[in-house]
Amino acid sequence: MIAAPKLTRNQSLVFDALKAADEPLSAYTILDRLRDDGFRAPLQVYRALDTLLDRGLVHRLDSLKAFVPCAHPHDHHESATIAFGICGRCARVWEFSDAVVEERLRGWAKSEGFCPQRTAIEISGLCADCVRAGAA
């Protein structure tokens, strides 16, 4: 068994910042949080994020232009359909996948001759806690 390559210092710092966050973080927010660790330029963050994305350790939420750590880094294969529930009030994010949805999308792609490279579904709404808080 070949061991996965270790993360560089910058990659580890970016990954740790995402894991410690209570919400998705933009690259510029990550940069601000890591200035005391020697980060000075957005390129440092983007390079680290690119590697973390390639390794499946983080996900980009396109609707928020932000990043979250992968909740299940070893459960996804390249063609997996990953879905995110995003609370618009508290910014909590749930990551999940569903075999039925994945099969349905795979069937559509096959019938259309479409070759998906990445599939991510983002569902925006309110979590149960925020719904309860708004009703109070």
Please determine, for residue 1, whether its predicted confidence score (pLDDT) is greater than 50: no
User: Of residues 126 and 2, which shows the higher confidence score?
Assistant: 126
The rounded percent of the chain whose pLDDT value lies above 90 is 76
Structure pTM?
0.85
Domains, the chain, ordered by start: 9-69 (1.10.10.10), 81-135 (3.30.1490.190)
Burial classification of residue 32, based on how many CB atoms lie within 10 Å of its CB (0-12 exposed, 13-18 middle, 19 or more buried): middle
What tokens does 79 get?
């063609």
What angle, rounded to 10 degrees, do the helices at 9-20 and 42-54 form?
80
Of the candidates 76, 125, 124, the one whose C-alpha atom is nearest the C-alpha of residue 102 is 76
Question: pLDDT digit string (tens) for 7-65?
Answer: 999 999 999 999 999 999 999 999 999 999 999 999 999 999 999 999 989 999 999 99
Residues 68, 90, 65, 39: is their CA dihedral positive or negative?
negative
At position 94, the amino acid (one-letter code) is W
